[in-house]
Amino acid sequence: MITLTTDFGLTDIYVGEMKGVIFQINPHARIVDITHSIPPQDLFAAAFQIDAVYQYFPDRSIHIIVVDPGVGSQRRSIVCQTAKATFVCPDNGICTKIFEREELIRTIEITNLDFCLPQVSHTFHGRDIFAPVAAHISCGVSLTDLGPEISNITMLSIPQPEIAEDRIIGEIIWIDHFGNAITNVLVETLKSTSFYTNLTIQVAGMKIDRLSRFYNESDIGSTLALVNSSGNIEIAVNQGSASSTLNIKTGEKILFLKTPPPK
């Protein structure tokens, strides 16, 4: 199985070109579109999105990730292998979150152009390098045939929550299609630091005094916080958009304050 995650959108032909290349090499390939709506050049959004989704795919799936502001430059094209999956992508840190979750077995720099298209452009490595390489891997080509093994790959500096005795300072890392604001604070973090049951959340001038279990547990139009399906704390508006209502953007800080338990 081959998946595609890009910032290409679906208005242009780019995604179709990549699929055409894959089918030329492996007509029996199974291709799944994860998303093509990553904000343009947003490596952090791509890193969080692919980390949230790849674990639900079958073992040995091949994930092509193309969010590539450095295309055509000296940045390397790589294949990364973990125990669960193979990732074909630019060497720009896009897999950083995955390697926080599981061990990187090996990384190959793609240097053997026999497995790329005959003419490699300076602007579309998704079509000319990543798609054909993934297709060849799906046909059984060994990773060692693609190029040399390397160890010094690029990693992003992922924002981590700041944890103190009475507060946690997190950050909005993603605004989804519904306008929900996803934070980098995990429910496990709240539970491990005794913030889970007694807390006040402050974001964009709004105070929220509890975690809801689901959206409709609050009144329509009201702002709430809950644990989303990936385990992150999320700010939402029931049947509305937190992003629009609160004017929240990625990178904005969110404060979790520990409150005394009720007497």
User: What does the pLDDT read at residue 260?
Assistant: 65
Give the integer Cα–Cα distance in Å for 72 and 189. 40
Residue 126 in this model has a pLDDT that exceeds 90: yes
Lowest mean pLDDT among 33-37, 130-134, 248-252: 248-252
Which CATH number does 2-150 carry? 3.40.50.10790
Residue 247 in this model has a pLDDT that exceeds 80: yes
Residue 46 in this model has a pLDDT that exceeds 90: yes
Q: Beta-strand (E) ranges in the chain?
A: 2-6, 31-35, 61-66, 77-82, 85-90, 104-109, 149-150, 162-163, 167-175, 181-186, 199-203, 206-208, 223-227, 232-237, 253-258
Confidence label for 119 from pLDDT (cuts 50, 70 and 90): very high
Beta 61-66 vs 2-6: how paired, if at all? parallel
User: What does the pLDDT read at residue 159?
Assistant: 87
Q: What is the mean pLDDT of residues 80-92?
A: 97
User: What does the pLDDT read at residue 5?
Assistant: 98
| Domain span(s) for CATH 2.40.30.90 in the chain | 162-258
Considering the entire predicted model, what is its pTM?
0.88
Q: What is the mean pLDDT of residues 90-100?
A: 94
The pLDDT tens digits of the residues spanning 143-199 come to: 999 999 999 999 999 889 999 888 999 999 989 999 999 999 999 888 887 777 778
Residue 117 in this model has a pLDDT that exceeds 90: yes
User: What does the pLDDT read at residue 233?
Assistant: 95
| Domain span(s) for CATH 3.40.50.10790 in the chain | 2-150
Element (H, E) at 25: helix 14-25
Q: What is the mean pLDDT of residues 22-45?
A: 96
CB atoms within 10 A of CB 2: 22
User: What does the pLDDT read at residue 263?
Assistant: 57
Phi, psi of 22 (to 5 degrees): -60, -45
Domain 162-258 has CATH 2.40.30.90: yes
Q: What is the mean pLDDT of residues 62-78?
A: 95
